[in-house]
């Protein structure tokens, strides 16, 4: 390794012309593909490059633990860079001792750098994190060396001794910061061995390669053998999805072997945690492809003509960086296999047995069966969903209890240690408290999402609305639970993104036209509006479902202007695309109280909000609402309840809708 790309190229050329050595260059002047090829050539056991010449920047992020000799053609002025160079080889997967070579001329500046690193920091023989700390205290001399200024022998010897002393002091400080008791308690070999054995057993039990081969075949992804335990995976010409998650447009070369992956950094190492595999699982769970089937079977004890419905309900906590909530609530699948009398055959007929005995049904026969049994199937699915929600609630409660108990024990342990050990920091205690807070929020969210389908179903069962508007769905379009909504008997148009926001419009009939977002919205626009026009017996009806910005406060530099712009865009759309004589519905939480009766927080709080500029009934906000009313909109809630001040029309999925539906 050397500092510059020019030197790396010179080394390769000199070795080729002077010694006839096959060497490969690896530097920032090459494209990513060229670097991949250079690394792969060097990694080949047979007919590979004998030597790889890397530049400092070009080798960043690339590791060569299969190599055992490191030649340094120069030394960096930053000790951290030297650590990185050595770390290219000295890492997990390195099977031998790394041998470091540094050719230099005697009485040169390079010789002084070598002495500083070796005799002062001992950086060649031991990995250390103190090099940068020491260098920060010796900048004057190091800058002189970089400029080519060589000190006299006495001054230099004194400097080396000072370096060794500073390094020793820094190591002592680092050692003092270690808590031997915590380290001892944190590493329990017997427990660790069981965990490792468990992971190995799971990996052996859940064979990834045959699973992925089935997924690729199902979704039209092309895969072919590259070499032993390696595949070339590419998007197929007839894929059933627009883009396969985790698979680049130009494909990838991947392996299921850890050993091969450690030696070939141009290969993706496929495990159950790889983005492509996670994407495949999510696609299978959330997509429509392959999630419903009609089959015939013959099983002893079940009368001919019996219709059974099998449904799988999943419960899963979302991933949170730094907090593994899924150890308390792993993804759970609840299976129902019921007939119309709600008799559960699932305990006696396993999925494997059922799959083995199922036969295909002619598509025309399947359609006739579905059409004839539609209402019975829909009713049974609703009952299954109620049963699943009850089970899911119990699972979340158990997960919450286990998580809180474990974290409380850890918190008490650290609090006790802190009384006798000052090295236990307050930040460690706060981190545990934060984990409890975030973990409970994630579990609440998982339970809320599981309950949300049921709450929505309750609204449908009681009121059978023609239109339902959903806001803040927080789901990408590809992950929208389309089948769950369609099972309720509704068509749905949705408009979501990768992060927050998102809206959906449910209707009993499909719209004749749809508009997602305002006409001038760009790709970066927040997904806050979906509109549809519907043909009805009394004429067309246009429904606009909006997730209106809250605005926070008048002086907020981003949120308040966004709210103002949203209302302006809405008014512009009404004025340019629609007429006050049209049948138009605008639905959503407007985040504005048009009259004082709508405020509901008491006069004193209302005055304080106005004084501090908090949004919801600022004069300018009411002016925006007034412009909508001037165009022709009317507040339907106030038309029905002109005088009341204790009823409100907004609630979220965490509320008990069975009490609020009236």
| pLDDT of amino acid 61 | 64
User: Does residue 188 form part of some domain?
Assistant: no
Rounded CA separation 623/629 (Å): 10
Least confident of 200-204, 359-363, 455-459: 200-204
Per the structure, the count of domains in the chain is 4
Q: Both 332 and 481 in a single domain?
A: no
At 120, the pLDDT band (50, 70, 90 cuts) reads very high
Confidence at residue 561, expressed as pLDDT on a 0 to 100 scale: 95
Q: Is 472 annotated as a binding residue?
A: yes
For residue 542, is pLDDT > 90?
yes
In this structure, the strands spanning 539-546 and 529-536 are: antiparallel
CA distance 474 to 498: 8
User: Does the residue 271 lie in any domain?
Assistant: yes
Whether 102 and 130 have beta carbons less than 8 Å apart is answered as: no
pLDDT for position 206 = 61
pLDDT at 319 over 80: no
> Is residue 657 pLDDT above 80, yes or no?
no
Query: Residue 492 gets which letter from DSSP?
Result: E
- Same domain, yes or no, for 422 and 478? no
Instruction: Name, in order, each residue with C-beta under 8 angstroms of 43's C-beta and a sequence gap of 6 or more.
Output: 64, 66, 263, 264
User: What b/e sequence results for 365-376 when a residue is b if at least 16 CB atoms lie within 10 Å of its CB, and e otherwise?
Assistant: eeeeeeeeeeee
Nearest C-alpha neighbor of 54 from the set 261, 253, 76, 131: 76
End-to-end CA distance of the chain: 74
Angle between helix 426-463 and 363-420 (nearest 10): 150
| Per-residue tokens: 622 | 């009411």
Would you say residue 289 has pLDDT above 90? no
Q: Using the predicted structure, report yes or no on whether residue 410 has a pLDDT greater than 60.
A: yes
132 shares a domain with 56: yes
Sign of CA dihedral 126, 129, 130, 136: positive
Half-sphere exposure of 6 (CA within 13 A, CB side): 0
> Residue 590: beta bridge partners?
none
Task: Say yes or no: 247 and 167 in one domain.
Answer: no
What's the CA gap between 96 and 107, in Å, rounded? 33
The domain in which residue 354 lies consists of 297-439
Same domain, yes or no: 544 and 471? yes
Lowest mean pLDDT among 164-178, 200-214, 593-607: 200-214
Considering the domain architecture, whether residues 31 and 73 belong to the same structural domain is answered as yes
Section 631-643 average pLDDT: 91
The CATH number of the domain holding residue 236 is: 3.30.360.80
pLDDT band at 184, cuts 50/70/90? low
Q: Which of 244, 261, 286 is a domain's end point?
A: 286
pLDDT at site 31: 82
| Other beta carbons less than 10 A from residue 6's beta carbon | 12
Q: What is the CATH number of the domain that holds 28?
A: 3.40.50.300
Residues 373 and 496 in one domain: no
Q: 656 and 548 in one domain? A: yes
Q: Is 95 in the same domain as 221? A: no
* Least confidently predicted of 117-121, 297-301, 629-633: 297-301
Mean pLDDT rounded to a whole number for the chain: 86
Q: What are the CA-CA distances from residue 246 to residues 269, 276, 629 (Å)?
A: 13, 4, 48
Q: 161 and 40 in one domain?
A: yes
Q: Does residue 291 fall inside a structural domain?
A: no
Where residue 511 sits, what CATH number does that domain have? 3.60.10.10
CA gap 454, 452 in Å, rounded: 5
The pLDDT, as a whole number, for residue 446 is: 76
Residues of the chain with pLDDT > 90: what percent? 38
Per-residue pLDDT, averaged over 358-378, amounts to 89
Domain-embedded: residue 205: yes
Quick check: is 182 in a domain?
no
Average pLDDT over residues 438-451: 74
Q: Are the C-beta atoms of 54 and 2 separated by less than 8 Å?
A: yes
Q: What does the pLDDT look like over 243-264, one tens digit per residue?
A: 788 888 888 999 988 778 776 7
314 and 280 part of one domain: no
| 244 and 137 both lie in a single domain | no
User: Is residue 451 in some structural domain?
Assistant: no
The confidence score (pLDDT) of residue 662 equals 33
639 assigned to some structural domain: yes
197 annotated as a binding-site residue: no
Of 286, 308, 336, the last residue of a domain is 286
| 448 within domain boundaries | no
Note whether 116 and 163 are within 8 A (CB): yes
Q: Each residue of 572-630: pLDDT tens digit?
A: 999 999 999 999 999 998 999 999 888 877 788 888 889 999 999 999 999 999 999 99
Q: End of a domain among 176, 210, 226?
A: 176
Question: With 80 as the cut, is the pLDDT of residue 55 above it?
Answer: yes
pLDDT exceeds 70 at position 453: no
Question: Tell me: the pLDDT tens digits for 67-98?
Answer: 999 999 999 999 999 998 998 888 877 889 99
């Amino acid at each position: 390794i050397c500092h510059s790309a020019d030197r790396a190229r010179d080394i390769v050329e000199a070795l080729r012309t002077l010694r006839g050595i096959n060497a490969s260059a690896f530097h920032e002047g090459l494209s990513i593909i060229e670097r991949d090829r250079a690394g792969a050539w060097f990694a080949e056991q047979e007919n590979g490059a004998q030597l790889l010449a890397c530049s400092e920047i070009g080798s960043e992020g690339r590791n060569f633990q299969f190599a055992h000799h490191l030649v340094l053609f120069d030394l960096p002025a930053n000790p951290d860079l030297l650590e990185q160079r050595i770390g290219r080889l000295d890492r997990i997967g390195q099977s031998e001792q790394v041998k470091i070579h540094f050719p230099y001329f005697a009485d040169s500046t390079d010789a002084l750098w070598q002495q500083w690193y070796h005799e002062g920091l001992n950086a060649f023989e031991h990995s250390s994190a103190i090099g940068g700390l020491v260098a920060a205290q010796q900048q004057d001399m190091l800058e002189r060396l970089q400029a080519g200024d060589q000190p006299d022998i006495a001054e230099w010897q004194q400097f080396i001794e000072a370096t060794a002393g500073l390094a020793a002091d820094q190591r002592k400080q680092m050692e003092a910061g270690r808590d031997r008791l915590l380290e001892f308690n944190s590493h329990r070999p017997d427990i660790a061995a069981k965990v490792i054995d468990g992971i190995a057993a799971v990996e052996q039990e859940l064979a990834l390669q045959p699973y992925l081969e089935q997924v690729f075949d199902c979704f039209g992804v092309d895969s072919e053998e590259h070499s032993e335990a390696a595949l070339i995976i590419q998007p197929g010409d007839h894929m059933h999805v627009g883009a396969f998650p985790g698979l680049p447009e130009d494909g990838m070369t991947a392996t299921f072997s850890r050993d091969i992956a450690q030696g070939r950094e141009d290969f993706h190492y496929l495990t159950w945690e790889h983005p492509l595999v996670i994407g495949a699982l999510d696609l299978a769970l959330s997509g429509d492809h392959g999630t419903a089937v009609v089959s015939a079977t013959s099983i002893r004890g079940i009368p001919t003509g019996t219709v059974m419905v099998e449904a799988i309900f999943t419960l899963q906590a979302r991933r949170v960086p730094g907090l593994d909530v899924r150890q308390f609530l792993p993804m759970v699948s609840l299976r129902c296999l019921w007939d119309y009398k709600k008799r559960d055959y699932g305990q006696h007929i396993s999925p494997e047995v059922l799959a083995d005995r199922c036969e295909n049904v002619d598509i025309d026969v399947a359609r006739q069966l579905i059409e004839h049994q539609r209402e019975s199937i829909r009713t049974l699915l609703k009952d299954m969903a109620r049963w699943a929600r009850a089970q899911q609630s119990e699972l979340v409660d158990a997960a919450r209890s286990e998580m809180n108990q474990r974290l409380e024990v850890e918190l008490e342990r650290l609090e006790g240690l802190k009384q006798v050990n000052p090295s236990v920091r307050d930040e460690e205690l706060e981190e545990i408290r934060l984990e409890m807070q975030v973990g409970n929020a994630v579990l609440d969210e998982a339970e809320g999402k599981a309950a949300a389908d049921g709450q929505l179903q309750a609204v449908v069962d009681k009121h059978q609305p023609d239109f339902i508007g959903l806001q803040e769905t927080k789901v990408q379009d590809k992950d929208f639970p389309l089948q769950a909504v369609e099972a309720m008997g509704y068509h749905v148009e949705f408009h979501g993104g990768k992060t927050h926001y998102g809206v959906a419009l449910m209707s009993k009939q499909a719209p004749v036209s749809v508009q997602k977002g305002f006409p001038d919205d760009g790709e970066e626009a927040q997904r806050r509006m979906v509109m549809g026009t519907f043909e009805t017996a009394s004429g067309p009806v246009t429904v606009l479902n909006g997730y209106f910005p809250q605005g926070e406060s008048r002086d907020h530099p981003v949120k308040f202007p966004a709210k103002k712009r949203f209302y302006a865009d809405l008014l512009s759309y009404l004025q340019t695309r629609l007429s006050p004589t049209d049948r138009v519905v605008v639905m959503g939480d407007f985040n504005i109280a048009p009259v004082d009766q709508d405020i509901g927080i008491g006069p004193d709080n209302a005055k304080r909000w106005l004084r501090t500029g908090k949004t919801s009934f600022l004069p300018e906000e009411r002016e925006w609402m007034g412009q909508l009313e001037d165009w022709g909109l009317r507040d339907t809630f106030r038309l029905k309840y002109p005088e009341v001040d204790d009823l409100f029309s907004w609630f979220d999925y965490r509320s008990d809708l069975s009490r609020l539906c009236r």
